[in-house]
A = this chain, B = another copy of it.
Amino acid sequence: MSLEKLFIPESIAVIGASSKKRKIGYEILENIIEYGYKGKVYPININEKEIMGLKAYKSILDVKADIDLAVIAIPAKFVPSVVLECGKKGVKAVIIISSGFSEIGDSKTETLLVEIAKKYGMRILGPNVFGVVYTPHCLNATFGPRDILKGNIAFVTQSGAIGIALMDKTRAENIGLSAVVSVGNKADIDDSDLLDFLKDDKNTKVILLYIEGLKKGRKFLESALETSFKKPIIAIKSGRTEKGAKAAASHTGSLAGSDKVFSAAFNQVGILRADTMGEAFEWARMLSLSPIPKGERCLIITNGGGVGVLATDACEKEGIKLLDDYKYLEDTFKPLIPEFGSAKNPIDITGQSREDSYKIILRKALEEEKIDSIIILYCEAAVVDTDKFAEYIIEEVKNAKTKKPVVVSLIGGEKGEKALTKLNKNGVPSFEEPERAVYTMTALYKWWRFANRKKSKKKRDIMMDKEKIYSIINKAREEGRLQLLEQEAKDILKACGLDLPKYKLATTIEEALKAAEKIGYPIVLKIVSEDIIHKSDIGGVKVGIKNAKELKNAYKEIMYRAKKRYPKANIRGILVNEMVEKGVEIIVGCSEDPQFGPVIMFGLGGIYVEVLKDVAFRVAPIDKEDALDMIDDIKSYPLLYGVRGEKRKDINSLAENISLLSYFSHEIPEIVEMDVNPLIVLEEGCKIVDVRMTLKEV
């Protein structure tokens, strides 16, 4: 069911409304009335007859008219019966302000509330929230600050304390909001429901999320991906580090997944992850105010070489591309700046220039087709009228025929602070530190690049012989095994279309000889037994076997050692394998993330994964393009391009393998863990030499 009635209700009941100041039921009712809500409001209170001049009702059932939204602010123990009443009354959405549910360990009651709501087709926000604001309809159903400025940023927060404090901050800093939603325990409505609504909300241009943990990670990613193509999502995700994650777990009771996986997942769906709250709001302001760039070429204008360097540093670090056609820059700007200035990028108009120089250069930069975005740096100087500087910038940006992203950094004193406020109020995102100006520009570009690049994203259609796969899985289940045997796992990958060296299980020397003959020497022998996990350690593997004689000896030796070490092991035989030539060894792992389900990990074999932890993550499945990105993500990737005279390896084939494995792990949820180790990348093609699979416990 849509959330429309949560944001745009035609009537509201406040259950637990109160005429006593400082009570939450008082604050909410007062906010609803005073913020200018235009619909009908019904206070519900067992003891009172009139509250704030409105007739009060004992029960919502006593109200004759229809009610769209009920806000519940009563002790937890009374909530279920009241929610039931709401259901009977035909209420469409319920906000449960009350706390005392899953956040203190009582998940049972919470589940009950959701069941009631489902039965009556109601949606629940909360419990344990401070409410909802939707400024386009003058709705402030919270006990937070009242006079929220209208604007087009929607702010969704899991933390009540931060949410309320930040609402206050937006007022102090002239940041306009379309909506504020406190999501609390997310018993029913969660971030992904809200994204689905806000994505199509015409009053919202940017969405800002404060997330401590996700309950349905994959659903969230799907909604986020769809949203990102339409409008930017900025997220703060707390619990980045181990200690932080512990604090998050005790706070909300939601499981915090590995932070690396979170970052990867956010990246995959275009979410901009901010490092701090301040940064998140700066980005939101920028993205809500700024036009979209047409291209990458950015120009810096400065009156101080020093800040020019600071900003250039930041641009390089963050991947902002500075226009570097120096001939063009010289021709265009040199005539406009003083003798000792520089027409390279940054355009340095020097400390002698006044506000009118900024005006002239900015106008030119806005007119020029070759320039896509502009960063203005100003160090307050006695010769410049700082107030006029701000006016000029505002004027030029407003009057420009071609709209381009413009940000300002202004270092200075009191006059500077006033000018900053003025610029921000008038729609030019402005900052003190040059670096922060650059970071916000970066956020804009990151979103722009994402929204442009990935527009046609469809899932691949992978051919896999599921019947075969499930017959193998079922056989293992019948035998009570969670760990698949090597040849079983290999058979499964073959059924997914992956390329494996030839192999055959032999139970006698004669079978092994036959298999070797067919595969061709040299070959590799490996013991097969569910009871022997570390095959190499007990001498259960022999490589480089060149002929029948060697094979016979090796076979006997492996069997002898295995039986000696594990006399009770169920030995299935010996796997005869084609020997793969040398290449770059890769590890690909698939596992279940608690928040996102199947994720895929990739890294170079040996010390690169184990010691250097040089790995990349993605939420599965990913296509080949994404797999190529993933390969680029690790530091040791140049080894695949061939170092020290080696030839380039088949990166294309590796990407295809990673993509296939990711689809496999996504489509066969029965396999909760898979380790492909090693996969060998050759000059042509890849070969999976060993793989382990673990089934889900049932």
Contacts and interface: CB of A to CB of B under 8 A. Distances in A.
A88 B561 CA distance: 97
Interface string A158-196: 111110111111011000000000000000000000000
A159 B411 contact: no
A543 to B, nearest CB: 17
**Could you say which of A210, A316, A413 has the most chain B C-beta atoms within 10 Å of its C-beta?**
A413
Contact of A309 (B244, B303, B416, B435): B244
Contacts of A306: 157-162, 210, 212, 238, 251
Contacts of A309: 212, 238-239, 244, 247-248, 251
A635 B608 CA distance: 10
A160 B307 CA distance: 10
Contact of A275 (B162, B307, B435, B612): B435
B382 A165 contact: no
Interface string A283-306: 000000000000000000001111
Contacts of A212: 305-306, 309
Contacts of A19: none
Interface in A46-90: none
Interface stretch (A215-223, A339-347, A446-454, A485-493): A339-347
Contact of A277 (B165, B310, B414): B310
A160 B302 CA distance: 13
A650 interface: no
Contacts of A508: none
B244 A312 contact: yes
Given A607-B639, A611-B636, A161 B342 contact: no
A172 B416 contact: yes
A641 to B, nearest CB: 9
Interface residues of A, number: 88
A252 to B, nearest CB: 7
A33 interface: no
Interface string A427-471: 000001111100000000000000000000000000000000000
A313 interface: yes
A381 B165 contact: yes
Contacts of A277: 310, 411, 433-434
Nearest to A414: B172
A551 B309 CA distance: 60
A276 interface: yes
Contact of A316 (B172, B243, B344, B434): B243
A276 B435 contact: yes
A594 interface: no
Interface in A620-646: 635-636, 638-639, 643-644
Contacts of A160: 304, 306, 351
Contacts of A276: 310, 433-436
Contacts of A415: 168
Contacts of A303: 161
B380 A241 contact: no
Contact of A611 (B248, B250, B380, B638): B638
Contacts of A340: 104
Contacts of A315: 243
A640 B165 CA distance: 50
Interface string A551-580: 000000000000000000000000000000
A171 B243 contact: no
A247 B308 contact: yes
Contact of A380 (B165, B412, B416, B607): B165
Nearest to A417: B172
A379 B413 contact: no
Interface in A122-155: 143-145
A651 interface: no
B639 A169 contact: no
Contacts of A382: 22, 27, 143-144, 164
Contacts of A416: 165, 168-169, 172
A606 B638 CA distance: 13
Nearest to A431: B278
Nearest to A313: B244
A322 interface: yes
Given A247-B312, A312-B247, A159 B307 contact: yes
A317 interface: yes
A307 B611 contact: no
A599 B191 CA distance: 53
**Could you say which of A168, A238, A247, A433 has the most chain B C-beta atoms within 10 Å of its C-beta?**
A247
A340 to B, nearest CB: 6
Contacts of A205: none
A240 interface: yes
A412 B162 contact: no
A317 B168 contact: no
Given A611-B643, A638-B611, A313 B238 contact: yes
A313 B413 contact: no
Interface in A1-45: 22, 27
A161 B310 contact: no
Contacts of A325: none
Contacts of A169: 411-413, 416, 432
The 3 residue pairs across chains A and B that have the minimum distance between CB atoms: A161-B304, A159-B306, A168-B413
Interface of A: 22, 27, 104, 143-145, 157-162, 164-169, 171-172, 210, 212, 236, 238-244, 246-248, 250-252, 275-278, 303-310, 312-313, 315-317, 322, 340, 342, 344, 346, 348, 351, 379-383, 411-417, 432-436, 606-607, 610-612, 635-636, 638-639, 643-644
Given A161-B305, A168-B413, 7 more contacts: A165-B416, A172-B417, A212-B309, A238-B306, A241-B312, A243-B322, A244-B316
20 contacts: A159-B306, A160-B306, A161-B379, A165-B413, A168-B412, A168-B414, A169-B412, A171-B413, A171-B414, A172-B413, A236-B310, A238-B313, A239-B309, A244-B316, A250-B342, A276-B433, A276-B435, A278-B433, A610-B643, A611-B643
